[in-house]
Amino acid sequence: MGRPPGFDRREVLAAVEREFRKSGYDGTTLDDISAATGLGRGSLYAAFGDKHALFLAALGDYCDQDEASDAAALEGPDETAMERLRAYLIDSVDRQLNDPEQLACMASRFTVELAGRDQEATARLRHGFDAQRAALAGCLRAAQRNGDLDPAAEPVTLATLLVVGFRGISSLIGIGLDRAELVAVIDAILAGLPRPPGPRVHQAATQEPYSQV
C-alpha cells in the first residue's frame, strides 16, 4: 500500500466538467484543468488518462448525477405531476440564469459540439437524452392518470417536445433572453399540451398556468 490520492475524485471531476463546459473541448487546455483542480498534469494523467478520457469521465459523472436528479425531480404523486413538470423547467432555467457565467448545461453544449465527431461522447449524451425523456414521459403519464392531460396523447412524443424546449431554452439563454420571456415560453409550451376532452372548455390563450411562481 502506498500513498493514497490527496484529492476527491468527484470534486476533481466537477471542476473538470466546469472547465470543459466553460471553454468547450478544444478550448480547454490541460493547464486550465490543472489550475482549476490544483492537480499537476502528471497526477491527472495517472488518475484519468489523457484529455479525452478525462473529458469522458467528467461527462459520465455529470450525466449520472443529472439523470438521478431528473428522475427525483419528476417522481411523485399523480395529483401534482403538472406542477412538477413546470417546476422542473423553471428550475433548470433559474439554475442557468443564476450561474455566475450562465453556462449552458453539459448536455446542451456538447450535443452540438461533439455530434458526428466523438462517438463515445455522443453515445453517453444519447443515453442521457433517453433518460431525461423517459423521466418526463413518466411524469406525463402521471398527469394523464390525474386527468390533466389527454389520455390519447403519446407521452413519448410530448416528452421529446419538452426536451426540445429544454435544450432550445438552454441555448438561447446565452444570447440574453430574460427570465420573464423564458417563463412565458415555458407556460406557452405547457398550455399547449393536449387537455383531455370533456366538459371543461379549453381556452388556451387566457387559461391559468398550472402553478404560479
Partner DNA sequence: AACGATCTGGACTGTTCAGTAAAGAACCCT
Partner DNA sequence: AGGGTTCTTTACTGAACAGTCCAGATCGTT
Q: Residues in the site for DNA, rule: CB under 7 A?
A: 1-7, 28-31, 38-43, 45-47, 50-52
**Binding of a second copy at residue 158 (CB under 8 A)?**
yes
Nearest Cα to 188, choosing from 159, 210, 172? 210
Between 11 and 154, CB nearer to DNA? 11
Specify the long-range contacts of residues 194-199, CB closer than 8 Å, at least 24 apart.
194/149, 194/150, 194/152, 194/153, 194/158, 195/148, 195/149, 195/150, 196/147, 196/148, 196/149, 196/150, 196/151, 197/150
Contacting a second copy (CB under 8 A), which of 9, 52, 95, 126? 126
By a kind-dependent CB cut-off of 5 to 8 A, residue 180 interacts, out of DNA, a second copy, none, with: none
Assess contact for 120 and 56: CB atoms under 8 A. yes
Contacting a second copy (CB under 8 A), which of 51, 71, 172, 209? 172
By a kind-dependent CB cut-off of 5 to 8 A, residue 87 interacts, out of DNA, a second copy, none, with: none
> For residue 98, what are the contacts with CB-CB under 8 A and spacing of at least 6?
none
Assess contact for 140 and 85: CB atoms under 8 A. yes
Contacting a second copy (CB under 8 A), which of 8, 101, 178, 208? 101
Smallest distance from the beta carbon of 120 to DNA, in angstroms?
14
Torsion sign, CA atoms 107, 102, 8, 35:
positive
Between 1 and 180, CB nearer to a second copy? 180
User: In this structure, which amino acid lies at residue 44?
Assistant: L
Query: Quick check: helix, strand or coil at residue 206?
Result: coil
By a kind-dependent CB cut-off of 5 to 8 A, residue 193 interacts, out of a second copy, DNA, none, with: a second copy
Between 12 and 105, CB nearer to DNA? 12
**DSSP letter, residue 78:** G
**Contact set with a second copy (CB under 8 A):** 23-27, 101-104, 108-109, 111-113, 115-117, 122, 125-126, 129, 150, 152-154, 157-158, 160-161, 163-169, 171-177, 181, 184-185, 188-189, 191-195, 197, 202-206
